[in-house]
């Protein structure tokens, strides 16, 4: 009689997957907020909406791109989940929405009992920073598809905002002020260029100590994306925010025009703040022109607000009270929906 074949023989261990769910329950439950119904492990995550007058649901989905390669290289996996959450919740916060819950998708060749819980702990930390709940997800074992030690992670978040409180830039006018908040580094965009520069052109490694950074290259590159949600929601209560920008792929050049009316430009004063060392380092060693840098990276500014000139001081004061270090980047002028660097 032929040997019996099992799913485990093909590389997928259902029992290990079930044990993984049990192992991460405490991390997941630490994110629960009012509205969460049930627990992980079911066919769907349940969330009960609180009372709203005219609620609009806002959703966003994203991954962390090739920053994953850095996590593999430095063998650090407890922050990449923060990036996955940040990329989604920062996007929906731009519309004035409060993130309610997050679901993740983790795919790997084989579940690693040491690495996988670290990934989920990072996702849970990101959810706590955003004030939303991790109510479910999918963990897929795909033997033969991913290299040993590699995985992919993505997710999506759903938030809510009153219809008359949606922020989309439509009320922006000439003379409005553009305020920026610092990033924590490169965040989660542009890593294909980052890797080509540092690891191919310069032949550096993640263990290369860089004087300008005061740390190893890998430490800088794995720094998680900042989550701005709580700051956004707090500022929204005190100031009439006309538009917001999450500075992701496309940098200043592509993202700021997305919240401008067609007859306006955003003028950014390049001398208004100090660009962090990592970006200066890349521009110098890669011989990258300034326009390309601001079209690819956040250049040290991860989130942007547009407010009226009359509310500028109140916005700055409120942001400082929230522990932020805001920067006045420039202003809105007549134009053709472009971001101009001056």
Maximum mean pLDDT: which of 7-21, 23-37, 328-342: 328-342
What are the residue ranges spanned by the domains of the chain? 8-165, 177-341
Judge whether residue 242 has pLDDT over 90. Answer: yes
Judge whether residue 50 has pLDDT over 80. Answer: no
Q: What's the rounded Cα separation, in Å, for the pair 256 and 337?
A: 9
Q: What's the rounded Cα separation, in Å, for the pair 315 and 9?
A: 60
Judge whether residue 5 has pLDDT over 60. Answer: no
Residue 39 confidence (pLDDT): 75
- Kindly report the pTM of this predicted structure: 0.91
Q: What are residue 40's phi and psi, to 5 degrees?
A: -70, 160
Residue 15 confidence (pLDDT): 61
Strands (E), the chain: 36-37, 46-47, 55-63, 98-108, 133-141, 151-162, 177-182, 209-210, 215-216, 243-246, 264-268, 301-307, 327-334, 339-341
Residue 208 confidence (pLDDT): 98
Judge whether residue 189 has pLDDT over 60. Answer: yes
Residue 205 confidence (pLDDT): 97
Judge whether residue 1 has pLDDT over 60. Answer: no
Residue 33 confidence (pLDDT): 78
Count of Cβ atoms closer than 10 Å to residue 294 Cβ: 24
Q: For the ranges 37-46, 128-137, 206-215, 305-314, which has the lowest average pLDDT?
A: 37-46
Residue 16 confidence (pLDDT): 60
* Residue-averaged pLDDT of the chain: 92
The percent of residues above 90 in pLDDT, for the chain, comes to 80
Residue 4 confidence (pLDDT): 67
Q: What's the rounded Cα separation, in Å, for the pair 68 and 153?
A: 8
Q: For the ranges 136-145, 161-170, 263-272, 304-313, which has the lowest average pLDDT?
A: 136-145
Residue 154 confidence (pLDDT): 96
Q: What is the DSSP string of 8-34?
A: GGGT--HHHHHHHHHHHHHHHHTT--T
Asked if residue 268 lies in contact with residue 339, where contact means CB atoms within 8 angstroms, the answer is: yes
Residue 51 confidence (pLDDT): 82
Residue 21 confidence (pLDDT): 65
Q: For the ranges 69-73, 115-119, 270-274, 305-309, which has the lowest average pLDDT?
A: 115-119
The radius of gyration computed from the CA coordinates of the chain, to the nearest angstrom, equals 22
Residue 231 confidence (pLDDT): 98
Asked if residue 189 lies in contact with residue 297, where contact means CB atoms within 8 angstroms, the answer is: yes
Asked if residue 106 lies in contact with residue 137, where contact means CB atoms within 8 angstroms, the answer is: yes
SS3 string of 181-223? EECCCCCCCCHHHHHHHHHHHCCCCCCCEECCCCEEHHHHHCC
Assigned CATH for 8-165: 3.30.1330.10
CATH topology of domain 177-341: Phosphoribosyl-aminoimidazole Synthetase; Chain A, domain 2 (3.90.650)
Judge whether residue 71 has pLDDT over 80. Answer: yes
- Tokens for 66? 């090739």
Q: What are residue 202's phi and psi, to 5 degrees?
A: -95, -15
pLDDT in tens, 90-123: 999 999 999 999 999 999 998 888 898 999 999 9
Mean pLDDT of 313-321: 98
């Amino acid at each position: 009689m032929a040997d019996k074949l099992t799913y485990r023989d093909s590389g997928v261990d259902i029992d290990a997957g079930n044990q993984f769910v049990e192992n991460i329950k405490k991390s997941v439950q630490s994110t629960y907020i009012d509205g969460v119904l049930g627990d992980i492990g079911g066919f769907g995550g349940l969330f009960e909406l609180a009372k709203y007058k005219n609620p609009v649901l806002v959703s966003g989905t994203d991954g962390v791109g090739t920053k994953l390669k850095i996590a593999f290289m430095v063998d650090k996996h407890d922050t990449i989940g923060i990036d996955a959450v940040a990329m989604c919740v920062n996007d929906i916060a731009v519309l004035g929405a409060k993130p309610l819950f997050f679901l993740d998708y983790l795919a790997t060749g084989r579940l690693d009992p040491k690495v996988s819980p670290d990934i989920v702990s990072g996702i849970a930390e990101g959810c706590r920073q955003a004030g939303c709940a991790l109510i479910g997800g999918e963990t897929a074992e795909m033997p033969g598809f991913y290299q040993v030690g590699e995985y992919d992670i993505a997710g999506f978040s759903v938030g809510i905002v009153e219809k008359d409180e949606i922020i989309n830039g439509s009320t922006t006018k000439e003379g409005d002020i553009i305020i920026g908040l610092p990033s924590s580094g490169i965040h989660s965009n542009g890593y294909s260029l980052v890797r080509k520069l540092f690891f191919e052109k310069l032949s550096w490694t993640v263990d290369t100590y860089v004087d300008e950074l005061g740390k190893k290259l890998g430490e800088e590159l794995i720094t998680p994306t900042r989550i701005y949600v709580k700051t956004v929601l707090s500022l929204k209560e005190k100031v009439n925010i006309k538009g917001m920008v999450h500075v992701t792929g496309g940098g200043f050049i592509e993202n700021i025009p997305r919240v401008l009316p067609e007859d306006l430009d955003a003028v950014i004063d390049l001398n208004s703040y100090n660009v962090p060392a990592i970006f200066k380092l890349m521009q110098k060693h890669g011989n990258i022109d300034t326009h390309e840098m601001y079209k690819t990276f956040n250049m040290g500014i991860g989130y942007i607000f547009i407010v009226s000139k009359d509310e500028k001081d109140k916005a700055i004061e409120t942001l400082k009270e929230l522990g932020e270090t805001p920067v006045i980047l420039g202003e809105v002028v007549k134009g053709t929906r472009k971001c101009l660097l001056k």
